[in-house]
């Protein structure tokens, strides 16, 4: 790398040095000539001055013919280091007096016809001399001339010195210019490369904290669309079909998986029946996993096995603990598993949410691991594995295992159903090997997961972390290129499948047009029609960056006081894991912060933050998404984040701005969101202000691009890609089984 830079620099430095060299070659003689002329002119003046000074005593002595005194006068005069010799001639041209140093060859020096300073120079064996003759006048009449000879060797010396200095100066100049230019070129190149890298990574914050270089701006749009096309093309090749719908998924199951049965296992159930004074009510949980997998199950039928957590759940199941869902239009079976309070406490709250959840998210909350929780985790994984095995009607079902609650289940099921295709999807980030190493049962968890046929993560980064973790803690064979891990003779394919949502059908929401919603929602909140509205939708969870988001709102109001009274932020925070201390403390902090900010900026009825810490139904969420000017997703760490995609999908008016944390999986796809580092409060505040003042055209352009991506890369494609990969592996497995049984049969015949 260094050698390359040196070579690149030389490619620039050498031509520059050459140009400057040629320049110096032409300039130096010119300079030489010029300085010579200056010196000659100086000597001419000097000679005239000396002649003037000597004239009076000299003429006196000449008149008195005082040869001795004349010699003394001349000798004193040539004490001057540059005056080399003197002579006096009469008007007849006879040399009367001279110093010993005077060259005879000069005689009475006849000034050349064409007078020029350079012509007063003569070359003598003793060196170059400057000769000047000054007429000596007495009473206005010329009585002779004084010839002054100067030694000019010092001029040659100075000229040589000048030459040396000029050449050195040019050389130095060449070096300095080269270095400055090379340095600037390198710095700009690095800036360019960094900007391009940011675009490729999707980290482009422009023009927030780290704006892309202005020179590169025009390239960014092209680059993005090129990347998008590349992505579409690459994924399109894999997916067979470019538009994925429930029908595509159904036909995939029919054609590629021969109608094989599909079983889903997750902790959270898609429909919770609650016993209320008004009878049994159905509730949809606030869960990204449920949002995604439910859409797939509606398309595929099959059985979903989950924890029956609702107070009315037992009353709604049959004797096999099954109920057909969705209640309004049953299309698949929900099989409930019951857990005791103890089991739920240890497996769900304890090991899963006090241990694995903080372990996998970088949110600076320390994981807690207790042996008793681990025991419950093992036992509940066993309970669910047994339920899966019991539900399977064939020996090779397709089983979709969801999330970190069931890391041990894949191996447990594999032992009972070796031919099953087990697809495990890890919905949260996977940490680096050091972080994961904190878990006292790390080897067991990894072994459990490697019971899967396919193991999926949202991003290539999480997949890489997983492979490195396995490499660190287990003896396995890893094929990096194929992304497979071979453990105990079984192969697991590790892939990334970015999850998404079901694209809403046109006019399916039935909640009215964006224009009417805009006014209605503001009216319900007691806000004026033109009031600016921001929204955040999350579970009340410390990984979602709710505190940082509220701090950004506060900072924005500080920096732009004109927004006070004009802007309100609605934070919807569905209760989650609220029996855990960490979550209770977090909620108390959120409430305290909201109160403080509201006290600071409230005015009459105006409050800048409206905290709605309760569960909302999907229609209510859609209303907020569609009425808001900006949606803020500021997770400190998030596997994907579906709220970002839901907001984009809801905006069929192509308006509204998405502010998205760079630490979400979604930020790798939604490049046209305003990407922020949620820890940087000023950056969040700037993004908020920028979103609220963004021109409609820019909103439309960004929104249109994100909508086309989410529409194409929907949840059916997510499931479809995993099922296609599973189908390919099953196909291969079948061929291998046939080959094996053929070769066994041939062997038997031979024996």
Site for ligand GDG in 569-608 (CB under 6 A): 572, 574
Residue 1 pairs in a beta bridge with none
d(CA 708, CA 490): 39
Part in contact with ligand GDG (CB under 6 A); list of ranges 136-144, 146-154, 224-232, 640-648: 640-648
Cβ-based nearer residue to ligand GDG, 206 or 714: 714
d(CA 513, CA 530): 17
Per rule CB under 6 A, is residue 640 in the interface with ligand GDG? yes
What phi and psi, each to the nearest 5 degrees, are found at residue 608? -70, -25
Among 638, 669, 672, 686, binds ligand GDG (CB under 6 A): 638
SS3 127: strand
Helices (H), 392-427: 409-416
Per rule CB under 6 A, is residue 616 in the interface with ligand GDG? yes
Among 417, 499, 687, 727, binds ligand GDG (CB under 6 A): 499
Total site size for ligand GDG, rule CB under 6 A: 26
- CA 88 to chain CA centroid, Å, is 89
Among 144, 202, 270, 288, binds ligand GDG (CB under 6 A): 288
Angle between helix axes 246-255 and 288-300 (nearest 10 degrees) is: 60
What is the nearest approach in angstroms of ligand GDG to the Cβ of residue 298?
15
Per rule CB under 6 A, is residue 611 in the interface with ligand GDG? no
Angle between helix axes 581-601 and 546-559 (nearest 10 degrees) is: 10
d(CA 682, CA 689): 10
Among 615, 655, 680, 711, binds ligand GDG (CB under 6 A): 615
Among 69, 228, 284, 370, binds ligand GDG (CB under 6 A): 284
Number of neighbouring beta carbons within 10 Å of residue 519: 14
Cβ-based nearer residue to ligand GDG, 239 or 638: 638
Are 363 and 637 in contact by the 8 Å Cβ rule? The answer is: yes
Structure token pair of residue 273: 């029946």
| Length of the chain (residues) | 751
Cβ-based nearer residue to ligand GDG, 414 or 549: 549
Per rule CB under 6 A, is residue 646 in the interface with ligand GDG? yes
For the residues of 631-655, what is the DSSP string, one character each? EEE--SSBS--HHHHHHHHH-TT--
Among 289, 467, 563, 709, binds ligand GDG (CB under 6 A): 289
Helices (H), 121-245: 153-201, 217-239
Structure token pair of residue 488: 């105990």
Per rule CB under 6 A, is residue 660 in the interface with ligand GDG? no
Part in contact with ligand GDG (CB under 6 A); list of ranges 240-248, 527-535, 594-602, 610-618: 610-618
Part in contact with ligand GDG (CB under 6 A); list of ranges 229-237, 244-252, 633-641, 720-728: 633-641
Per rule CB under 6 A, is residue 621 in the interface with ligand GDG? yes
Are 105 and 131 in contact by the 8 Å Cβ rule? The answer is: no
Structure token pair of residue 571: 């934070």
Q: What is the 3-state secondary structure of 499-562?
A: CCCCCCCCCCCCCCCHHHHHHHHHHHCCCCCCCEEEEEEEECCHHHCHHHHHHHHHHHHHHCHH
What is the nearest approach in angstroms of ligand GDG to the Cβ of residue 627?
15
Q: Is 342 exposed, middle or buried (0-12, 13-18, 19+ CB in 10 A)?
A: exposed
Cβ-based nearer residue to ligand GDG, 208 or 643: 643
d(CA 269, CA 334): 8
Cβ-based nearer residue to ligand GDG, 573 or 593: 573
> For 329, how many CA atoms within 13 A lie in the half-sphere containing its CB?
5
Cβ-based nearer residue to ligand GDG, 401 or 640: 640
Per rule CB under 6 A, is residue 642 in the interface with ligand GDG? yes
Cβ-based nearer residue to ligand GDG, 356 or 428: 428
- Binding mask 291-310 toward ligand GDG (x if CB under 6 A, else -) reads xx------------------
Part in contact with ligand GDG (CB under 6 A); list of ranges 129-137, 251-259, 285-293, 507-515: 285-293
What is the nearest approach in angstroms of ligand GDG to the Cβ of residue 635?
8
Per rule CB under 6 A, is residue 495 in the interface with ligand GDG? no
Part in contact with ligand GDG (CB under 6 A); list of ranges 54-62, 632-640, 673-681, 729-737: 632-640
Among 539, 668, 707, 721, binds ligand GDG (CB under 6 A): 539
SS3 623: helix
Bridge pairing between strands 630-633 and 657-661:
parallel
What is the nearest approach in angstroms of ligand GDG to the Cβ of residue 544?
7
Part in contact with ligand GDG (CB under 6 A); list of ranges 44-52, 336-344, 638-646, 651-659: 638-646
Among 178, 287, 352, 469, binds ligand GDG (CB under 6 A): 287
Cβ-based nearer residue to ligand GDG, 104 or 505: 505
What is the nearest approach in angstroms of ligand GDG to the Cβ of residue 285?
7
d(CA 283, CA 275): 11
H/E segment holding residue 95? strand 95-98
Part in contact with ligand GDG (CB under 6 A); list of ranges 114-122, 384-392, 489-497, 636-644: 636-644
Residue 658 pairs in a beta bridge with 631
d(CA 589, CA 742): 67
Cβ-based nearer residue to ligand GDG, 248 or 500: 500
What is the nearest approach in angstroms of ligand GDG to the Cβ of residue 542?
11
Part in contact with ligand GDG (CB under 6 A); list of ranges 14-22, 74-82, 158-166, 282-290: 282-290
Site for ligand GDG in 406-445 (CB under 6 A): 427-428
d(CA 329, CA 298): 10
Among 545, 639, 656, 678, binds ligand GDG (CB under 6 A): 639
Cβ-based nearer residue to ligand GDG, 378 or 640: 640
Are 454 and 460 in contact by the 8 Å Cβ rule? The answer is: no
Cβ-based nearer residue to ligand GDG, 560 or 615: 615
Cβ-based nearer residue to ligand GDG, 292 or 380: 292
Structure token pair of residue 23: 């320049």
Part in contact with ligand GDG (CB under 6 A); list of ranges 41-49, 65-73, 583-591, 634-642: 634-642
H/E segment holding residue 570? strand 567-574
d(CA 452, CA 273): 32
d(CA 601, CA 578): 29
Instruction: Indicate the residue whose CB is closest to ligand GDG.
Output: 288
Per rule CB under 6 A, is residue 618 in the interface with ligand GDG? yes
Cβ-based nearer residue to ligand GDG, 148 or 499: 499
Are 305 and 337 in contact by the 8 Å Cβ rule? The answer is: yes
Per rule CB under 6 A, is residue 641 in the interface with ligand GDG? yes
Non-local CB neighbours of 745 within 8 Å, separated by 6+ positions: none
d(CA 641, CA 537): 11
SS3 263: strand
What is the nearest approach in angstroms of ligand GDG to the Cβ of residue 567?
22
Cβ-based nearer residue to ligand GDG, 46 or 615: 615
- Binding positions for ligand GDG, rule: CB under 6 A: 284, 286-289, 291-292, 427-428, 499, 537, 539, 572, 574, 615-618, 621, 638-643, 646
């Amino acid at each position: 790398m260094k050698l390359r830079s040196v070579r690149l620099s030389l490619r620039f430095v050498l031509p520059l040095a050459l140009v400057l060299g040629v320049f110096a070659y032409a300039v130096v003689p010119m300079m030489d000539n010029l300085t010579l002329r200056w010196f000659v002119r100086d000597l001419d003046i000097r000679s005239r001055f000396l002649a003037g000074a000597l004239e009076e005593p000299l003429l006196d002595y000449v008149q008195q013919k005082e040869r001795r005194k004349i010699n003394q006068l001349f000798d004193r005069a040539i004490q001057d280091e540059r005056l080399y010799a003197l002579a006096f001639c009469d008007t007849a041209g006879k040399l009367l007096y001279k110093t010993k140093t005077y060259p005879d060859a000069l005689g009475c020096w006849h000034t050349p016809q064409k007078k020029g300073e350079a012509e007063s120079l003569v070359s003598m064996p003793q060196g170059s001399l400057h000769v000047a003759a000054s007429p000596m006048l007495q009473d206005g009449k010329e009585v002779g001339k004084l010839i002054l000879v100067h030694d000019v060797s010092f001029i040659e010396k100075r000229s040589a010195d000048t030459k040396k200095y000029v050449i050195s100066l040019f050389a130095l100049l060449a070096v300095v210019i080269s270095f400055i230019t090379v340095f600037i070129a390198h710095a700009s190149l690095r800036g360019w490369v960094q900007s391009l890298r940011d675009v490729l990574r999707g980290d482009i914050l422009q023009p927030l904290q780290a704006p892309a270089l202005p020179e590169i701006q025009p390239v960014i749009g092209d680059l993005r669309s090129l990347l998008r096309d590349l992505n579409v093309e690459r994924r399109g090749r894999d997916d067979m079909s470019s538009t994925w719908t429930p029908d595509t998924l159904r036909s995939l199951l029919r054609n590629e998986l021969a109608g094989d049965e599909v079983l889903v296992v997750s902790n959270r159930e898609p429909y919770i029946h609650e016993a209320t004074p008004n009878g049994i009510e159905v509730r949809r949980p606030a869960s990204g996993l449920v949002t995604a997998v439910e859409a797939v199950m509606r398309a595929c039928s099959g059985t979903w096995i989950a924890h029956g957590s609702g107070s009315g759940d037992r009353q709604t199941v049959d004797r096999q603990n099954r109920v057909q869902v969705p209640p309004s239009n049953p299309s698949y079976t929900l099989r409930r598993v019951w857990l005791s309070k103890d089991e739920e406490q240890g497996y769900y709250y304890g090991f899963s949410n006090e241990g694995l959840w903080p372990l996998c998210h970088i949110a600076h909350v320390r994981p807690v691991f207790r042996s008793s929780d681990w025991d419950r985790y093992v036992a509940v994984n066993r309970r669910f594995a047994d339920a899966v095995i019991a539900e399977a009607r064939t020996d090779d079902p397709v089983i979709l295992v969801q999330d970190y609650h069931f890391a041990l289940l894949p191996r447990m099921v594999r032992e009972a159903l070796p031919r099953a295709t087990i697809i495990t999807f890890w919905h949260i980030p996977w940490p680096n090997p050091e972080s994961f190493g904190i878990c006292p049962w790390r080897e067991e968890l990894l072994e459990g997961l490697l019971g899967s046929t396919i193991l999926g993560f949202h991003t290539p980064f999480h997949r890489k972390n997983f492979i490195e973790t396995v490499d660190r803690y287990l003896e396995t064979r890893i094929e990096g290129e194929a992304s497979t891990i071979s453990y105990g003779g079984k192969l697991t394919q590790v892939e990334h499948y970015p999850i998404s949502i079901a694209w809403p059908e046109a006019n399916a929401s039935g909640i009215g047009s964006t224009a009417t919603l805009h006014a209605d929602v503001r009216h319900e909140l007691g806000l004026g029609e033109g009031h600016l509205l921001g929204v955040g939708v999350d579970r009340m969870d410390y990984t979602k960056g709710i505190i940082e988001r509220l701090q950004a709102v506060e900072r924005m109001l500080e920096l732009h006081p004109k927004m006070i009274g004009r802007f309100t932020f609605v934070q919807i925070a569905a209760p989650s894991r609220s029996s855990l201390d960490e979550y209770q403390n977090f909620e108390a902090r959120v409430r305290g912060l909201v109160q403080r900010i509201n006290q600071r900026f409230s005015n009459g009825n105006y409050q800048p933050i409206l905290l709605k810490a309760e569960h909302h139904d999907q229609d209510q969420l859609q209303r907020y998404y569609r009425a808001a000017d900006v949606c803020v997703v500021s997770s400190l760490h998030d596997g994907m984040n579906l709220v970002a995609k839901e907001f984009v999908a809801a905006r069929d008016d192509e308006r509204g701005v998405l502010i998205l944390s760079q630490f979400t999986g979604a930020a790798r796809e939604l490049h046209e969101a305003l990407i922020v580092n949620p820890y940087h409060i000023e950056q969040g505040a700037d993004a908020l202000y920028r979103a609220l003042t963004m021109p409609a055209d820019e909103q439309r352009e960004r929104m249109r691009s994100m909508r086309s991506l989410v529409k194409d890369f929907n949840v059916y494609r997510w499931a479809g890609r995993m099922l296609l990969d599973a189908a390919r592996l099953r196909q291969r497995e079948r061929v291998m089984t046939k080959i094996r049984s053929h070769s066994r049969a041939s062997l038997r015949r031979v024996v």
